[in-house]
Structure 1
Amino acid sequence: MHTYLKNGVIICGLKVPLGILIEALAAFAITRLNIRHSNKVFMIFLIGMMLPMQAALVPINLAMSRLNLTNTYFGLFYVYLGFGIPFGILILRGFFRSIPKEIDEAARIDGCTNWKLFWNVILPISKPAIATLVILDFLSTWNEFLLASLLITEDKMRTVPAGLMNFFGDHGADYPLLSAGVLISVIPIFIVYLVFQKYFVEGMSGAVKG
């Protein structure tokens, strides 16, 4: 169980921060930089949410096999990143749009570049939305089973949901060990939620307003 927990922490530790950074940069460009056809660009991102994961299992498996990325952290990480970006952009775009544009104008008068505006102004204001994404992204990545079972076949590389299947045998399940494993697997989720929960409701309300 310790190995499965370690694998889950490594993958979540890679995917969640980098995914949120990419999503924040994309949402910032769409909402604050006045790029052409920003709404159309946003709609292109949203198409990713319309694609059922099950429909992409065969192409994903073939691509990862040809790239020799099966049974690797990065193979699973890249796929999780691709499926998670559209939802993150949806949340952050809504929150960024609720921030008054006058803040941008004041920051530029003070000499802020686009990067400083993003890093020093927009991101600190957006802590509620970012905390919301941390909780939701960590939860979905930690509990994902289908892709983890498809791309990871070596037992030592399995994440927690796939690893728990080892407690099921041909003639039944080892319910005491299974129950203990499920209880242990909930602890990281509980810790993440406790740390960020005070921002959760505010972050979701910002997304709805957007």
Structure 2
Amino acid sequence: MKPTLLLLHGALGSPTTLEPLAELLVADFTVKTFAFAGHAGREVNPETFTLPHFAEEVLAFLKTHETAPAHVFGYSMGGYAALLAARQQPALFASITTLGTKLDWSPESAAAETRFLDPEKMQAKVPAFAEQLRQRHAPADWAAVVRATASMMLAAGANPPLAAADFAALQVPVQVLMGDGDLTPERGDASRLLAGQLPQMQYAVLPNTPHPIERVDIPDLAKRIKAFALAHS
């Protein structure tokens, strides 16, 4: 019986953004996924559009669908939700791999992350991306998703859900992947310092890799996820 691998999408994303990755992993894993609240057509509600709620959704999914610890891959926001969930109930997780996940939240970093999350500016400057978001989140209002994402990030900056002590106490094998073209050096270093608190951590910087999942070397990512997960099965 193949082990379960749960794929978690990032902010403004949906399960469809992870389909190319899933296709390369189905031979070795039972691949599963779901859309976080407020994404992929789900209702956009400020009360459920938070990192703590997304972590609750991860826990609820694993409790409902799994009888053994599962492997999890989380892209960007999905990685943070996985770590937050594992901090609460580590026994549900066999391993976690994150890619492009911001670990260091502060008011200053949140402000930097949200400066481009303005639907009107996005519509004017990157209309093709705005249209992509409209289709991805229909029938929900894509602009509402963008605004909710900004609010979520500002809330995380004001009150980070995971502190350094939480990372140090997380007893789950974690592979932290960052692209060399992702984030500024300062923010990347801050996330690396927090990742270094994880007791069972493997860290790697992916070459020629920016943040968007669409521009990641998916075959290489799949190999890294597979190797780490199977090493902890």
Tell whether the structures are fold-level matches, with TM greater than 0.5: no
| Structure (1 or 2) with the greater helix fraction | 1
Task: Decide which structure has the larger Cα Rg and report it.
Answer: 1
More relative contact order, 1 or 2 (CA 8 Å, 6+ apart): 1
Please indicate the TM-score interval, normalised by the length of the shorter structure: under 0.3
The TM-score normalised by the length of structure 1 is 0.28
| Structure (1 or 2) with the greater strand fraction | 2
